[in-house]
Amino acid sequence: MANLKAIRQRIKSVQSTQKITRAMRLVAAAKVRRAQMRVQAARPFTQAVVRVLREVVAEVSPVDLQGLPLLHKHAQIKKVALIVLSSDRGLCGGYNTTVFREVINRITELQSQGKEVGLILVGLKAASFFRSFKVEKLKSYTLLPAIPTVEEAKLIAGYAADLYTEGKVDAVEIIGTDFISLLRSQVVITKYLPVELPEAMDRPTTLSPLRLFEPSINEVMEDELLPKYVENVVFQALLEAAASELAARMNAMTNASNNARDLISSLTLVYNKARQAAITQELLEIVGGAEALKG
């Protein structure tokens, strides 16, 4: 016969866990709304920067842009840096596992081509997961805010740009997730450095405002446009990853709460059956004792 006390303790334990998962779901749901709003608010700025770059490409000759370090393509790609975006905390379902699987596949692909790989790890989970991998760890960024800010993006973008312009790596890629909806995100690999300029914008048939660049187009590109662009690419990637992580955590905690509810119902049924069996057994013993006394 099942131990009634043990079943009661198990039910209480699951109920306590359910309270925690519900609280975490509510916190993640509140944060993911803010993260989603930040993602949607940042996308127009990215589009505006790309539009300005397209206009610049349409106005100048490619020869005039050859001297810009972030645009210069190395003759031979010997080493690639991968910026891996992960979370600082767990309990977010398969979010980190999906990203790490794609990173491992990319590392294997690059190494099979005879290229060296270095990792720029963002998040405690990435730092912990790749600690034992025989791949160079260039730098780690951990304990970042739940909703990323421009300051973190500048740090990561600045370090990656220095690696590239100093010739320590020949290309930089970002592996993270794109936030699609609260139920779906997608792992993407973004070619980060060298910067690939967008195609030139078609000249409008109607009159358009004249844009002047002072002191020169090269200085504006090198000091303003390109730094803003590379920082914004990292910032957008961090926002997308944060929103995807929070959505994954909210879904994971929702599933955990539902599973706890089902387990409580199942354990309650087992407890009631065991309790009924115990009562029946006591009644049988009482009736048997009474019959024995009569005899």
What distance lies between CA 265 and its chain's CA centroid?
A: 34
User: Which uninterrupted H or E stretch holds 219?
Assistant: helix 217-220
Which of the residues 14, 24, 85, 92 is marked catalytic? Answer: 92
No. of helices (H) and no. of strands (E), the chain: 6, 5
Q: What is the DSSP string of 141-161?
A: E-S--SS--HHHHHHHHHHHH
Pair of tokens at residue 149: 């800010």
Contacts of 130 (CB under 8 A, 6+ apart): 84, 100, 103, 119, 121, 137
Residue 24 CB: number of other CB atoms within 10 A?
A: 19
115 is catalytic: no
**Dihedral (C-alpha) 11, 14, 19, 22: value to the nearest 10 degrees?**
-130
Report the SS3 class of residue 123. Answer: coil
159: left (phi > 0), else alpha (psi -120 to 50), else beta? alpha
- Catalytic residue numbers read 92
